[in-house]
Chains A and B, each alone.
Chain A
Amino acid sequence: MKADKAIATYRRMRTQPLWRLLASDNGPTVIGLLQIHLYESEQSLPASTFHERIGRSLEVLRAQGEDFPQTAQAYVANWLADGYLERRFPAGASEEEYELSTAAIEAIRFVSGLTQPHSAATESRLTLVIEALTRLAEDTDTDKFRRIDRLMAEQARIDKEIDAIQKGQMRVLPHAAALERTREIITLADDLAGDFRRVRNQFEQLNRDLRERLMDNDGNRGEVLDSLFAGIDLISESEAGRTFSAFWRLLTDPEQAATLDQALDSVLSREFVTQLDAKERRFLLRLTRTLLEQGGMVHEVLQTFARSLKHFVQSREYLEQRRLNHLLKDAQRAALALKDEVRATETLQYTLELSSSRLRSLSQWVLYDPSLQALPGQMAEGDALPIDLESVGELIAQSEIDFRTLKANVLAVLEHRSQASIADVLERFPAAQGLGSVVGLLALGSRHGFRSDHSETVGWIGGDDQSRSARIPKILFLRERANELV
Chain B
Amino acid sequence: MSWSEIDEAALPDEERAPDAVPASANTLFIGDSGELPLDTRRALVQLLAGPSLDGYRHPKLWPILIRDEVPIRRRLAELFLELVIDRDMQVAFTRQADTGELEVPTLLRRAQLTFIDSILLLHLRQRLTQADSRGDRAVVSTDEIMEFLNLYERASNTDRAGFVKRIHASIEKIKKHSILQKIRSSEDRFEISPTLKLLFSAEEIQALTHLYQRMAADETPAPVTRTESDDEEADP
Interface residues in chain A, defined as those with a beta carbon under 8 Å from any beta carbon in chain B: 46-48, 51, 73, 89, 91-92, 94-96, 207-208, 211-212, 214-215, 305, 308-309, 312, 317-318, 320-321, 323-325, 327-328, 330-332, 334-359
Check B28 for interface membership: any CB of A closer than 8 A: no
Chain A positions within 8 Å of B204 at CB level? 352
Chain A positions within 8 Å of B189 at CB level? 96
Q: How near does chain B come to A461, taking the closest CB pair, in angstroms?
A: 24
13 contacts between A and B (CB under 8 A): A89-B139, A207-B134, A317-B132, A328-B122, A328-B125, A335-B152, A338-B115, A340-B156, A341-B216, A344-B114, A350-B113, A350-B207, A352-B199
> Are B223 and A89 in touch, CB under 8 angstroms?
no
> Are B129 and A325 in touch, CB under 8 angstroms?
yes
Q: How far is the CA of A101 from the CA of B39 in the complex (A)?
A: 45
Q: How far is the CA of A344 from the CA of B51 in the complex (A)?
A: 26
Interface centre among B51, B112, B215 (most CB of A within 10 A): B215
Check B38 for interface membership: any CB of A closer than 8 A: no
Taking residues whose C-beta sits less than 8 angstroms from the other chain, chain B's interface range is 35 or more
Chain A positions within 8 Å of B221 at CB level? 349
Q: How near does chain A come to B224, taking the closest CB pair, in angstroms?
A: 5
Nearest-neighbor residue (CB-CB) of A343 within chain B: B115
Our pick among A51, A305, A339, A348 for the contact of B185 (Cβ within 8 Å) is A51
Nearest-neighbor residue (CB-CB) of B170 within chain A: A344
> Are A324 and B202 in touch, CB under 8 angstroms?
yes
> Are A347 and B216 in touch, CB under 8 angstroms?
no
Chain B positions within 8 Å of A337 at CB level? 212, 216
> Are B185 and A358 in touch, CB under 8 angstroms?
no
> Are B211 and A350 in touch, CB under 8 angstroms?
yes
Instruction: Give residues 107-127 of B contacting A (CB, 8 Å).
Output: 107-119, 121-123, 125-126
**Interface residue stretch chosen among B5-13, B60-68, B91-99:** B91-99
Chain A positions within 8 Å of B115 at CB level? 335, 338, 342-346, 348
Q: How far is the CA of A328 from the CA of B232 in the complex (A)?
A: 26
Q: How near does chain A come to B41, taking the closest CB pair, in angstroms?
A: 15
Chain A positions within 8 Å of B58 at CB level? none
Interface centre among A92, A325, A351, A354 (most CB of B within 10 A): A354
Contact with A along B202-236 (1 / 0, CB 8 A): 10111111011101100011011010010100000
> Are B129 and A341 in touch, CB under 8 angstroms?
no
Q: How near does chain B come to A355, taking the closest CB pair, in angstroms?
A: 4
Chain A positions within 8 Å of B133 at CB level? 211-212, 214-215, 312, 318, 321
> Are B186 and A95 in touch, CB under 8 angstroms?
yes
Q: How far is the CA of A478 from the CA of B153 in the complex (A)?
A: 70
Q: A215-B133, A317-B132, A327-B209 are in contact. List 16 more A-B contacts (CB 8 A).
A: A47-B184, A208-B134, A324-B205, A327-B206, A332-B122, A334-B213, A334-B216, A335-B118, A337-B212, A339-B151, A339-B155, A340-B154, A344-B152, A349-B224, A350-B208, A351-B113
> Are A94 and B114 in touch, CB under 8 angstroms?
no
Q: How near does chain B come to A359, taking the closest CB pair, in angstroms?
A: 8
Nearest-neighbor residue (CB-CB) of A328 within chain B: B126
Interface centre among A92, A321, A343, A349 (most CB of B within 10 A): A349
> Are B229 and A351 in touch, CB under 8 angstroms?
yes
Our pick among A324, A347, A353 for the contact of B108 (Cβ within 8 Å) is A353
> Are B220 and A354 in touch, CB under 8 angstroms?
no
> Are B224 and A48 in touch, CB under 8 angstroms?
no
Q: How far is the CA of A48 from the CA of B126 in the complex (A)?
A: 28
Chain A positions within 8 Å of B208 at CB level? 331, 350
> Are B112 and A351 in touch, CB under 8 angstroms?
yes
Chain B positions within 8 Å of A215 at CB level? 133
Would A339 and B152 be within 8 Å (CB), given that A48-B184, A91-B137, A355-B51 are in contact? yes
Interface residues in chain B, defined as those with a beta carbon under 8 Å from any beta carbon in chain A: 48-52, 56, 81, 93-96, 107-119, 121-123, 125-126, 129, 132-137, 139, 151-156, 163, 166, 177-178, 183-187, 189, 191, 195, 199-200, 202, 204-209, 211-213, 215-216, 220-221, 223-224, 226, 229, 231
Q: How far is the CA of A207 from the CA of B114 in the complex (A)?
A: 38
Q: Work out how many contacts link A and B, with CB atoms closer than 8 A.
A: 200
> Are B132 and A357 in touch, CB under 8 angstroms?
no
> Are B108 and A355 in touch, CB under 8 angstroms?
yes
Our pick among B94, B110, B154, B212 for the contact of A335 (Cβ within 8 Å) is B212
Chain B positions within 8 Å of A350 at CB level? 112-113, 118, 207-208, 211
Q: How near does chain B come to A411, taking the closest CB pair, in angstroms?
A: 32
Would A321 and B135 be within 8 Å (CB), given that A331-B205, A341-B216, A351-B112 are in contact? no
Chain A positions within 8 Å of B136 at CB level? 89
> Are A353 and B134 in touch, CB under 8 angstroms?
no
Chain B positions within 8 Å of A357 at CB level? 48-50, 81, 94, 107-109
Q: How near does chain A come to B48, taking the closest CB pair, in angstroms?
A: 5
Nearest-neighbor residue (CB-CB) of B186 within chain A: A47
> Are A356 and B51 in touch, CB under 8 angstroms?
yes
Q: How near does chain A come to B144, taking the closest CB pair, in angstroms?
A: 13
Chain A positions within 8 Å of B113 at CB level? 347-348, 350-352
Our pick among B51, B153, B206, B211 for the contact of A354 (Cβ within 8 Å) is B51
Q: How far is the CA of A241 from the CA of B94 in the complex (A)?
A: 43
Q: How near does chain B come to A51, taking the closest CB pair, in angstroms?
A: 7
Q: How near does chain B come to A311, taking the closest CB pair, in angstroms?
A: 9
Chain B positions within 8 Å of A336 at CB level? 151-152
Nearest-neighbor residue (CB-CB) of B119 within chain A: A335
Chain A positions within 8 Å of B49 at CB level? 356-357
> Are A211 and B134 in touch, CB under 8 angstroms?
yes
Q: How near does chain A come to B193, taking the closest CB pair, in angstroms?
A: 10
> Are B114 and A347 in touch, CB under 8 angstroms?
yes
Q: How near does chain B come to A80, taking the closest CB pair, in angstroms?
A: 11
Q: How far is the CA of A390 from the CA of B29 in the complex (A)?
A: 31
> Are A321 and B212 in touch, CB under 8 angstroms?
no
